[in-house]
Amino acid sequence: MLAVAGTGGHVTLWNAAEGTLEATLSDTLGPIAFSRDGSLIAGRAARQEIALWDVGTGELRRTMQGHSTGILRGLAFSRGGKMLAAYGSDASVLLWDVASGQERRRFPNAQSPLFSPDDAFLAAGATNGDLILWDTRTGETQRTLDDGGYPLAFGTDGATL
């Protein structure tokens, strides 16, 4: 499946192998992100809300509040698909529970989040240039790497960042 965030205020889903249009997600813009299993897609909706769509049916599952004081810059699903991280121009990362649509955590002064392979940790670049590693269950800071920049990748073992 290929998702295209057009300029007309909608996202189109295409069967890339056949070149056929599968669905049009109205009132949705980029940034967009697919869940790892491809069953869900998240995108920016009106008023910086986050729209969560079912890829198979093209139905809107829910909208979540999003970044009400800034512009949504990016989205990332956890590897297991149970969490969604969003970051915006308000310099915060919001962590959402996908099943309930409830905000689980808010991490201030952070951007560009990345989940560890086991979803236990969320790494993000801090606005001061550090890199912070949080526990996704508790929200507690596990590590701060001075001048660490932005997370690029976790090793497959989850112990290397």
Instruction: Extract the tokens encoding 128.
Output: 């001061």
Mean pLDDT along residues 70-84: 93
Structure tokens at 79: 């590897």
Percent of the chain at pLDDT above 90?
71
pLDDT exceeds 90 at position 2: yes
Give tens-digit pLDDT for 80-134.
Answer: 999 999 999 988 999 999 999 999 999 999 999 999 999 999 999 998 999 999 9
Q: Which of 32, 97, 24 is nearest to 60 (CA)?
A: 24
pLDDT at 160: 85
pLDDT band at 158 (very low <50, low <70, confident <90, very high): confident
Helix %, strand %, coil % of the chain (to 5): 0, 50, 45
pLDDT digits (tens, 9 = 90+) for 7-27: 788 999 999 999 999 999 988
Q: Is the pTM of this model over 0.85?
A: yes
- pLDDT at 34 exceeding the cut of 80: yes
Query: Residue written as tokens 């996202």?
Result: 11
pLDDT of residue 138: 93
C-alpha pair distances (Å), 142 with each of 41, 46, 84, 124, 148: 29, 34, 20, 12, 14
Q: What is the residue-averaged pLDDT of the chain?
A: 91
29 or 83, higher pLDDT: 83
